[in-house]
Amino acid sequence: MIQASKTSIRPANPADLPLIAALIRELAAYEDLSHEVRLDDAALGRHLFGPRPHAEVVIGEADGVAQGMALFFHNFSTFEGRPGIYLEDLFVRPAARGAGLGKALLAHLAALAIERDCARLEWAVLDWNAPAIGFYRALGARPMDEWTVMRVDGGTLTALAAQ
């Protein structure tokens, strides 16, 4: 375990693309979902740093060494009439966990949400990930048990678009 004396959060830049891709793959491995990763690094770079970015990333460092990230984008609440921030991925390398980096990343996003006049910060967590759920609850997050996530992708997405 890394005993960091100083954690810091910084916006990602195009030079961080290999790091971001590696962290995404490490997260997938942790979640036992590596077989789901179809990530193309060049496409990821265009979507994060191109002329019309679709998401943003902040990098978490412990003693100046990148150890985690948060990848997020804006959504919108019609009931609030304001945007929100949706956290797609939060990942801290296992050796750096417990040093406060995950909390620092979430606190950074919370401050960003307030700065951008967002109504909320939300994310999903796998129901088997008890350590993450406990961590989030300790920060004051509450589960939205009455909601079910729905998805269309792949061939189903193509078929729906053709209707």
Which tokens is 40 given?
A: 């193309």
3 contacts 99 by C-beta, under 8 angstroms: yes
Number of Cβ within 10 Å of residue 86's Cβ equals 19
57 contacts 16 by C-beta, under 8 angstroms: yes
Candidates 77, 129, 136, 147; catalytic one = 136
Q: Which amino acid is at 36?
A: E
Does residue 86 carry a catalytic annotation?
no
Residue 45: partners with Cβ closer than 8 Å, 6 or more residues away: 14, 17
Length of the chain, please? Answer: 163
* Residues with active-site annotation: 136
